[in-house]
Every structure is written in structure tokens, then in C-alpha cells.
Structure 1
Amino acid sequence: MKLAFSTIGCPNWSYDEVVSTASDLGYDGFEVRGIGGEIYAPDVKQFKSENIEKTKEKLKSLGLGITMLTSGASLAVYSEKEKAVAEAKAYIDLAESLGVPYIRVMCTNRPMPDGGDIQLCKRLYKEILSYASGKNVLPLIETNGIFCDTKLLRDFVEECDGGVLWDINHPYRFNGESIDTTLKNLGGRICYVHIKDSVVQNGVTKYKMLGYGDIPVKDALRGLKKAGYDGTVSLEWVKRWEPDLEEPGIVFSQFISTIKRYLKQL
């Protein structure tokens, strides 16, 4: 499995700081969810058309890859449908230019089930998949919102013939699913994995550094290995949205050392 972190965990870092940290700590790459004050990846300086080749050459020289462009497109929200489709298509175009294999889309932008129009989501996801066809980019739909219920997501993604981003926290924490159930439901549709650890304190989910929560991360890794998964597992440390979380320099270092130890124990 390849190891990455999402830039959602380092909202105050420059692009160069992201790249140097990924290289210095021994990551295989990083996932883009904003750089510094710019959350919209197509507007990041290094991803502008005149800079893309230089950006790609630098990453190649360091043996790094951008593992995913993580859009904020929410496909099950009627009031956002035009914006969501436009954002997803812009991310697909950028991913094609950068040679990035995946973008992320969602049903809604909430981790827990909160409604949304699944038929609208299906129609827009099919449109986005069609747009991506032939571009060597696969839009992945995340296990959040109504798709914390992975049986529902399984039926959805099989009908659409798409792929899944499995956030291991959400179905377990917000839908009470076991890791085995999620893996059984999603199987070979899992193309990318977000790692989070968390606990529930006074009814509120609190995110923790890997190993300090009670999410069965080792069980997830074991199940993925058994299923033959050889894709990316990426730390999604949501510091952009929760600034009181620990600093990324500490967390990214602790994560890669801990998960490498976990993987050796499988």
C-alpha cells in the first residue's frame, strides 16, 4: 500500500512545505485539499497551465505523486448541483493534466447521514463519470453522509459503475458498521482509503492521532491486504476545519511511523 497525507491537515503550509515534508518523512505522495489559503485546487499557482510541467518534473525527481485531488463537490444537494458539477469537471481536467488518477466527490459535505437527494446524486455522478471517460481519471464517491450506509453505496456505485473512497471512520462511527461489513459491501470498488482515528466524548466525535482512538484501523488494513488492495491509504487530519487539532508536523511524522509498524504486523 502507498502512504499519503491530505493537505487538509496543513492549511497554513505553502506548497513547497507540503512537498518537502512528504519527501523528508518518506511518504509516497500527498492528496490535495487546498494549499495555504486556496481551497480550490485549479486556482493553486503550481497547478496553473504554465506551471504544470515544472510541478510534475519536481515531483518526479523526488519520487512523489499527487494521489488525489479532493474536491468539495456535493452531488446530492439540489441548490448546489450546477456548482458541484462545474467543480468536479474542473478537478477532472486538472487531474488529467497532472496525471492524478482520482478526484473525490461526495453526496453531501457532512460526515454523518444527513439526507440528500440520492436520485440527483446518481444522475450527477453518472454525468461526471461520463465526462471523465478517456481522461485516465476516476471520480470516487466517499463513504460519508447517506453513504455511511455502505450497502446503499454498494448498490449506487455498482449501478453507476464508479469507485469508492472509503473513509474508515464514517461508516464505523456514524452507521455502526463493522469493518468486515464495510469490506464485504464495497469489496473491489474501494479505490482509495482515508485513515482517521477518533473517540466519542460526551456524544461528540473527537479526532485523535493514529492509535489514540478506538477506530479498528488494524482490522481495516488487515482486511484490505486480504482483499489484495494495493492502493493509497491517506491520513485525513481535518485541521483546516478543526484548528485546535495537533500541528501537522507532529501528526504526519507520528502517522507514517505508526502505520508502517501496523503494516509490518499484518
Structure 2
Amino acid sequence: MKISFTTLSCPDWPWERILDEASRLGYDGIEIRGVEGEMYLNRARPFLPHNLSHTKRLLKERGLAICCLDTSCVFHDRSTYSTYLQEGKDAVDLAYQMEVPYIRVFGNNVPEGQDESEIIDMVADALSELGVYAKDKGVSVLIETHGDFARTDRLLKVLEKVDCDSVGVLWDINHPYKTFKEPVEQTYARLKGYIKHTHIKDSLGWGRDARLCMVGKGDVPVTRCVELLSQNGYEGWLSLEWEKKWHPELEEPKIALEEYIRYAKKYFANLKS
């Protein structure tokens, strides 16, 4: 398994510092969720067409890979559906150009008063269209366990409607456990055939009262989640999602990133498959 962090962790760092710190700390790669304030990645400075070759060279020089491009795409709202579908396709094109294996999208909600089955169909249709678009480019489209689709019985209803092997799941280990109190063993048993990428985070409290904290300081069974992955042959990424972008009160990125790589080396490295 490989260790990465999302750029949500360090929203104020310039691109070159992100790469330098990742390399210095011994990370295998980074996950892109905004760079230098730009959240639409095709418009971010490192990923403008004239900068792609230079960006690839910087990554190679530091021995780093980009593991996933994280979009803002949500597919529960018909009024924004086409816009986000295009953003997803743009992200697939960028992933192809940058040799990135995954893009991330959301379900995301089942709005009150709306027919849940219609929302499920709409999300499944979006994943199917993006999956077909991505397949020949060697990219997979991952729906995150997030929002109302962190409830995995609901997420499974979506996945069962999608007949495309370039669609999978990004398992955020916090959301199903903290929002719906799903035992991690249940979540994993339901999704194990779909999980291609994993977000690691920890928190204290439940539901809306849950507050992010340093990995290992909360009550999410982090090492149990990684153990389940390891026992079933997972060789993907364990990516820290330290949401400094959305929660500026959190510890500074230098502290969080150093602590996570230390934790990962101590608790993940010796897990046996």
C-alpha cells in the first residue's frame, strides 16, 4: 500500500512546496483537490496545457505520483447535472494526460421530498456515462462514500445499476462510520469488490458533532480499516484527507503531514495480508 495526502491539507502552499514537502517527508504521492486556490483542476496552474510537461518532470524528479484527481462533481441535482458531467469529463481528460488512475466524484445527497429511486438512477446514469468515457483512457471514476451515499446500502443500489468496470468506490473511512454508525466490517463487506482508493481520516464524536482530529487521536478504527484492506490484497493508496481548506482551525499542514506519515510507518507497514 502507498501513502499520500490530499491538497486540502495545505491550501495555502504553492505547488512547488507541496511537491517538496511530500518528497522530504517520504510520501509516495499526492492527491489533488485544488491547487493555489483553484478547485477546477483543468484551470490550476500546474495543469494548464503548456505546463503539463514541466509538472510531470517535477513529479518524476521527486519520485512522486498523483494518485487521484478530486472533482466537485455531484449528481443529485438535475439543474447542475450537465455542468458537473462536463467537469467530470474534463477531469478524465486531464487524468489521461497526467497518467493518473482515478478521478473522484460524489453522489451526493437525496434531497428531502424527492424520490430516492430517481436520485439513484440519476447518479447511476452519470457514473455510467463517465465510466464509458474514461474506460479507453485507462482512468477509473470513483464515487466517494460521502453525504447520503455514505450509507452503503444506498450506494450499492447505484453501483448495481452501473455495468462498467471503470467505475469504482473511494472509501472514506470516516463518513459511513460516523454519519450512519456502520461498523467498518459491514461497510467493507458491502463495498470490497468496488474499492479502488481510500481516504484516511479520524474524528471524535458522531454525526454532525464529529470533529476531525489527528489520525490515531480519535475513535475511527483506522488500523482496523487498513487491516481489512490488507487482508484482502489491497495494494492501493491510503490517502490522508486533512480538511484544512474547509476547517482552518485544524493544525497546520506541516504538523498534520508529519504526524500522518509517522503514524502510517508505525501502524500500517507491518500489517500482514
TM superposition shift of 1:265: 4.5
Superposed CA deviations along residues 18-39 of structure 1, whole A, max 9, x for unmatched, are 1001100000000000012211
SS in structure 1 of the partner of residue 198 of structure 2: strand
Equivalent residue number for residue 59 of structure 1 = 59
Distance 1:145 1:166 in 2: 12
Equivalent residue number for residue 189 of structure 1 = 194
Alignment of 1:76-115 (within 5 A): 76-108=76-108
Equivalent residue number for residue 264 of structure 2 = 259
SS in structure 1 of the partner of residue 225 of structure 2: helix
Superposed CA deviations along residues 67-100 of structure 1, whole A, max 9, x for unmatched, are 1000000012222101110110110111110000
1:213 matched to 2:183: no
Asked if the contact 1:195/1:236 (under 8 Å) is kept, the reply is yes
Equivalent residue number for residue 69 of structure 1 = 69
Asked if the contact 1:114/1:145 (under 8 Å) is kept, the reply is no
Q: Which runs of 5+ in 1 are unaligned?
A: none
Distance 2:27 2:120 in 1: 36
1:232 matched to 2:237: yes
Superposed CA deviations along residues 107-162 of structure 1, whole A, max 9, x for unmatched, are 12x7xx76672211111111111111200111100001222121222342243132
Equivalent residue number for residue 2 of structure 1 = 2
Identical-residue share of aligned pairs (%): 39
SS in structure 2 of the partner of residue 73 of structure 1: coil
Runs of 4+ in 1 over 6 A off after TM superposition: none
Letter in 1 for 2:267: Y
Between 143-152 and 216-225, report the one with greater CA deviation. 143-152
Number of residue pairs aligned between Structure 1 and Structure 2: 263
TM-score with structure 2 length normalisation?
0.92
